[in-house]
Chain A
Amino acid sequence: MRKPPSRPTPGAGPGAVDLTRFLPMFFQETEEHLASMEGHLLRLDPRSPDAEALHSIFRAAHSVKGNSTIFGAKPLADVMHQIESILDQMRKEELRPTSDVISLLLETCDAVREELRRLKDSGDTDQTALQPLHERLERLTRADTDHKSRPDPSIEPAAGRSERFRVEVHLPPGQGIATLPLAELYAELGALGRIEDVQASDGAAGTLLLLFLLTSERHDTVRAKLVSLLGTNTVRVEHHETALQPAPDGDAIRPAHTGDTAFGLFSDERSALGSLGSSSSSIMRTTVFDSTTAGRRAVDHDSSPSMLGRRATDRMFFDRSSIRVDVDKVDRLLNLAGELVIAQSILAEAAQRIGAANDAGLRDSVAYVARQTRELQEAVMGIRLLPLDYLFSRLPRLVRDLAQKLAKDVELVTQGGDTELDKEMIEKLADPLMHLVRNSLDHGIESPQARDAAGKRSRGTVQIRASHQGGGILVEVQDDGAGFDRDRILRTAERRRLAVHPDMTDEQVWQLAFAPGFSTADAVSDVSGRGVGMDVVNRNIRALGGSVEVRSKRGQGTTIALRLPLTLAILDGMSVEIGGESFILPLSFIAEALVPQAGQVKSITGGPRVVQVRDSYVPLLDLQALLHIPEASGENGIAIVVEADGRQAALGVDRLLGQQQVVIKSLEANYRHVPGIAGATVLGSGRVALILDVSALLRAGLAPIKGMEELAPEAVER
């Protein structure tokens, strides 16, 4: 971050320090608090809100409020202040967190997040943007104090709900508190829950240390832990029966800015403080962060642009155990590691050529370099990996909003959110995943009535699971809804003149759903079913080098499995030779390879050449023509059957050179976009090999084939 130009500062001391550099941290923290609020709100049980959860939401709102005053964003601080009041009413059981209330609070989180973004980008907030929310929140707090909607007393507290305990520690006279194993005691209590109050008193009967604990643990658990630490005679644990206490910081529920003093000492509140505080109190809040903007020192708080200044867009987030690094730097490192892998394989080949096998020293050191290079590359790639929770954390909100809109009762279960995946992959997976979840809610899960009628639990479940599977990642979206309707898919396919026959296996029928523009939705809803569904999901996942698989059972539900490689930087490929050139075919597209016998390749008059693969015929594409390779020396003796966008074709190649992992280099970045080519890589020999873009080749190759247009309407796009 740029340092402010040095200029003589009056009373140059700590006051002259530039505190704007802490701003990005505050933004980051505020966003985290908002996310935490949202998470707790989504999990809140309206019938029996958990005291600890309410407290966490309150605290998060309080922190957002505090940070907003640091940004000088009063509107944000004000709505957060209202949320505090609402939470406070909930804690006192004066207000019930109904679904409407929770929705309003979630909406507020969104709006505040939006304002923060504006603040970060432009350095200013829209003073009126939050006004409508402000009024709605205001109405809520007022309406509900008028007629208090207390929770139904007949509802039993849910299991795991937190309770308050009064913990008494008695010490005989003469034995001070210092004799207690205090560190252990507090550590134990801290592990059990939250300490809400501590009181100590000395008397003739001895010393009493009184602690109030809020915990979701049971009475005997709490007691057992403390007794084992302090002994039976010393400690007493009782339920603390008083109702929920008012907010621990009562200040929070008062008007946000009362023009109070910025600091003071309790000993000399009315007297000696003058020189220190009260006179400068109104300036205090604003001068703090204005050290870089001399002349603003006496500006009133509300009109102050705060510490934000113009440098708000600087992004330098960091916390205690991690550092935030620009993605470009990581990518450069990754690129260099990739280059090193290439250099290493060139070295290995050269060593082999000069006969390293006979020189143990050379052989060992080449092997050592190879091992270290691989480890370095893996470690660097590891930097770019992020847990899938980044995506999963958006889902509860999506499911909640959609379920409400569709009047369905849906439970979301996520599993394996700690599974890590390349950052870019995670970003590209977001849309397909959201789409699948939307589909599950819209078309999969039935209405509660329909589920009741079918003898199912009226609440549907959508499960998202992620796990490591082989060298890649498996992400599954499973619902217990109606399942795919085979007949309906077949009817729609027929209407769209796709090739169908009644004997198709279920798997083949499900594949039809991936055809471009395919949608069985009767009416186009604004949730999904706009006909840009599964084919887009399929294409996006394929583009990531992955695959999509459908399992569905009528009446029982659907599972869509996405298989993905760990990273976009490395590809499992088959190295092939065509017309004397080496090419890489991504393994994820290859179905099989075969050597066709003389009678298996046929030319249809006026049509394409086809090759017989078991009992069906697959178009055989002439790669040499498609790739404009002049030398027609190859014999095209091997047919590789590839599959992309639900279509199959065979590619004729001369030789299979072997399977290998290759580091992908962008052709566009280094040269220009070449149709049919996805990228390039450097082989161990030092030669460059092009990576084939199978989808594009199929589109180009199948377009001129008569009768295929209907299958590939997008082929004419290019």
Chain B
Amino acid sequence: MRKLVLTVDDSAAIREMLSYVLKSAGHKVIEAEDGMDGLQKALSRQVDLVITDQSMPKMDGITLVKALRALPQYKKVPILLLTTESSDSMKDEGRTAGATGWLVKPFDPTKLIEVVDKVTGGR
């Protein structure tokens, strides 16, 4: 099913790549370049899934997750953290903040789509 995905990353290259992969799987994509931008875009438009980087200017990924989870309309929307490493401390932080799952860069396009489908309940 076609979903509206918000991708949040300060790297334009990662954003382009995510968009490319998500769009080729039939999803629609909104891009944001940091946590603050992502939050504003999530506020202005209800999205079905958020994929966010961790380390970003203005607002990092964990803080974005917390800020989104503080909003009634984003209590249940799946949020994936896209990180450089998956250490236990990151997982702890992510889980506590309320993220749905994590992905490690560089990501496999096929797996990304599988995870997206799984968390959004599509296919």
Contacts and interface: CB of A to CB of B under 8 A. Distances in A.
A258 B111 CA distance: 20
A288 B113 CA distance: 12
Interface stretch (A60-68, A105-113, A337-345, A538-546): A60-68
Interface string A293-335: 0000000000000010000000000011000000000000000
B115 interface: yes
Contact of A252 (B55, B95, B118): B55
Contacts of A526: none
Contacts of B44: 183
B100 A261 contact: no
B111 A284 contact: yes
Contacts of A25: 12-13, 16
Contacts of B85: 251-252, 254, 256-258, 260
Nearest to B61: A249
B57 A29 contact: no
B110 A13 contact: yes
Contacts of A263: 80, 86, 101-104, 107, 111, 115
A231 B80 CA distance: 35
B83 interface: yes
Contacts of B54: 248-249, 251
Given A254-B89, A276-B114, A182 B43 contact: yes
A186 interface: yes
Contacts of B104: 260-263, 284-285
Given A25-B16, A177-B71, A249-B90, A195 B59 contact: yes
Nearest to B108: A288
B67 A14 contact: no
A187 B106 contact: no
Contacts of A173: none
Contacts of B87: 250-251, 254, 258, 260
B63 A250 contact: no
Contacts of A63: 10-11, 55
A19 B14 CA distance: 11
A251 B83 contact: yes
Interface residues of A, number: 67
A242 interface: no
Given A183-B43, A249-B62, A26 B118 contact: no
Contacts of B62: 248-249
A58 to B, nearest CB: 8
A265 B78 CA distance: 10
A4 interface: no
Nearest to A11: B110
A266 B94 contact: yes
Contact of B109 (A28, A66, A197, A288): A288
Contacts of A14: 21, 24-25, 109-110, 112-113
Contacts of B60: 196, 248-249
Contact of B66 (A66, A198, A258, A284): A198
Contact of A17 (B12, B13, B24): B24
B57 A177 contact: no
A197 B97 CA distance: 10
Contacts of A254: 85, 87, 89
Contacts of B111: 262-263, 276-277, 280, 284
A252 B35 contact: no
Contacts of B112: 14
B73 interface: yes
Interface string B66-100: 11011111000000100111110111011100011
B105 interface: yes
Nearest to A290: B108
Nearest to B12: A319
Nearest to B36: A190
Nearest to A25: B13
A70 B111 CA distance: 16
A320 B67 CA distance: 27
Contacts of B80: 263
Interface in A191-207: 194-200
From B61, B80, B91, residue with most partner A Cβ within 10 Å: B91
Interface string B30-52: 00000110011001100000000
Contact of B55 (A62, A183, A195): A62
Contacts of A17: 20-21, 24, 109
Nearest to B94: A266
B4 interface: no
Nearest to B59: A195
Contacts of A284: 104, 107-108, 111
Given A254-B87, A276-B114, A198 B63 contact: yes
Contacts of A319: 12
13 contacts: A14-B112, A15-B108, A19-B20, A65-B84, A66-B84, A178-B73, A182-B71, A198-B67, A249-B61, A251-B84, A257-B85, A265-B118, A285-B104
Closest 9 pairs (CB-CB, A-B): A15-B110, A250-B89, A200-B70, A251-B90, A25-B13, A251-B87, A265-B101, A190-B36, A198-B66
Given A63-B55, A257-B85, A263-B80, 6 more contacts: A26-B11, A67-B13, A183-B43, A190-B59, A254-B89, A263-B103
Interface of B: 10-13, 16-17, 20-21, 24-25, 35-36, 39-40, 43-44, 54-63, 66-67, 69-73, 80, 83-87, 89-91, 93-95, 99-115, 118-119
